[in-house]
Amino acid sequence: MATDVIAEQEQRVAELTEKLVSQYPPSSTHAVEFLGAQYDMGLAWVHFPVGSGGLDVSPKFQKIVNEKIARAGGPNSYARNPIGYGMCGPTIVEWGTAEQKDRFLRPLFTGEEIWCQLFSEPGSGSDFAGLSAKGVRDGEEWIINGQKVWTTLAHLSKWGLLVVRTDADAVKHAGLTAVVVDMHSQGVEVRPLRQMTGEAEFNEVYFTDTRVPVSETLGNVGDGWRVSLTTLMNERVAIGGAIPQKGSGPIREAVKLWQQLPVESRNLANAC
Ligand SMILES: Cc1cc2nc3c(=O)[nH]c(=O)nc-3n(C[C@H](O)[C@H](O)[C@H](O)COP(=O)(O)OP(=O)(O)OC[C@H]3O[C@@H](n4cnc5c(N)ncnc54)[C@H](O)[C@@H]3O)c2cc1C
């Protein structure tokens, strides 16, 4: 891309972000209103298409938006809806129909609707393509049966990005389909997994004859593996490059802990 185009995009993103924080001062604006305005101005995921929360510019400019908003004390979509912002949003924009993008992306970004990722099963973690939860078509609905595990935030979610086996006879990667499931549907049971810390961020999720409209299929029938790759590729970016929170974040926390150590213990060679 030509240097002047890059400079023009950078300036546009910076100016729009200035406009956002001055028109919606974070200290006096409700987080949902602020994030809604951010989405409408194309500053949610700047590389997404115009109208879907983006400006169709390079993703590297998202950093400008995030840092300016963090400095102004504004809300952070990733912190409110990490699986939604980091993984499900990018999957919907890649694979969703126009209706799905219009319906799901804005409330996902504002955190009004939390999302979870329903991939792992007790019998298929690393071997994700070996999953056995089933979707059987019945007219204009899928009937879902099976169990998922390690589902982060399922207990708070409105929507789940679910991958099921819809063709038992196809080679294993080819028999999968991705759907968006309403976590409040009949036949969805969420059981929290209690951690040693006492918290319960992960869950087991059971589906018993849960009905999902066929219109909520993401991609085509049989595209589940390719849809999942989009999610998993974005998972790496989302976890590796989590949006900085003002004064926090795992690296900053680690540095703070290190700074609290006596000087003689700060040398890693001494620690080993
Ligand atoms: C913090 C956290 C949050 C998570 N949140 C979600 C979520 O929201 N949604 C979701 O769907 N999943 C989630 N997961 C699950 C995760 O993404 C993996 O799918 C799951 O942890 C791996 O499955 P498993 O635990 O059954 O391990 P296994 O697949 O049994 O693997 C156990 C070990 O064996 C190794 N191994 C496996 N197969 C092979 C092989 N063929 N050759 C050599 N080594 C092998 C693995 O590398 C691993 O070290 C989460 C996991 C964690 C830790």
19/35 same-domain check: yes
Residue 120 Cβ inside 6 Å of ligand 1? The answer reads yes
**Cα of 125 from ligand 1 centre, angstroms:** 4
Residue 266 falls within a domain, yes or no?
no
Residue 150 Cβ inside 6 Å of ligand 1? The answer reads yes
Residue 219 falls within a domain, yes or no?
yes
**Boundary (domain end) residue, out of 209, 225, 241:** 225
Buried-state track 121-156, b at ≥16 Cβ within 10 A, e below 16: beebeeebbebebbbeeeeebbbbbbbbbbbebbbe
Q: Select which of 189, 235, 253, 264 is catalytic.
A: 235
Residue 66: pLDDT over 60: yes
pLDDT tens by residue, 173-216: 999 999 999 999 999 999 999 888 888 889 999 999 999 999 99
- Kind of pairing between the strands at 188-193 and 202-213: antiparallel
Residue 228: pLDDT over 80: yes
Residue 119 Cβ inside 6 Å of ligand 1? The answer reads yes
Q: Ligand 1: which atom is nearest the Cα of residue 119?
A: 11
Residue 19 falls within a domain, yes or no?
yes
What is the pTM assigned to this prediction?
A: 0.88
Looking at residue 172, its pLDDT comes to: 86
**Cα of 60 from ligand 1 centre, angstroms:** 30
Residue 152 Cβ inside 6 Å of ligand 1? The answer reads yes
169/188 same-domain check: yes
Looking at residue 116, its pLDDT comes to: 98
Residue 88 falls within a domain, yes or no?
yes
Structural domain boundaries, residue 148: 115-225
- pLDDT band at residue 245, thresholds of 50, 70 and 90? low
Looking at residue 265, its pLDDT comes to: 65
**Cα of 204 from ligand 1 centre, angstroms:** 14
Looking at residue 136, its pLDDT comes to: 98
- pLDDT band at residue 269, thresholds of 50, 70 and 90? very low
What's the CATH code of the domain at 178? 2.40.110.10
Q: Cα-flanking dihedrals φ and ψ of residue 205, to 5°?
A: -130, 125
- For residue 118, the surrounding DSSP H or E stretch is strand 115-118
Q: What is the mean pLDDT of residues 124-136?
A: 93
Q: What is the mean pLDDT of residues 238-261?
A: 61
Give the separation between CA 191 and CA 13, rounded to whole angstroms: 42
Q: How many domains does the chain have?
A: 2
Q: Ligand 1: which atom is nearest the Cα of residue 117?
A: 9
Residue 32 falls within a domain, yes or no?
yes
Residue 138 falls within a domain, yes or no?
yes
**Cα separations (Å) of 85 from 108, 141, 177, 196, 270?**
7, 27, 22, 27, 41
**Cα of 146 from ligand 1 centre, angstroms:** 18
119/102 same-domain check: no
Q: What is the mean pLDDT of residues 206-234?
A: 97
* Helical segments of the chain, H only: 3-23, 31-40, 62-71, 77-80, 82-83, 89-95, 98-110, 224-240, 250-260, 268-271
Between 6 and 141, the more confident residue is 141
Catalytic residue list contains 8:
no
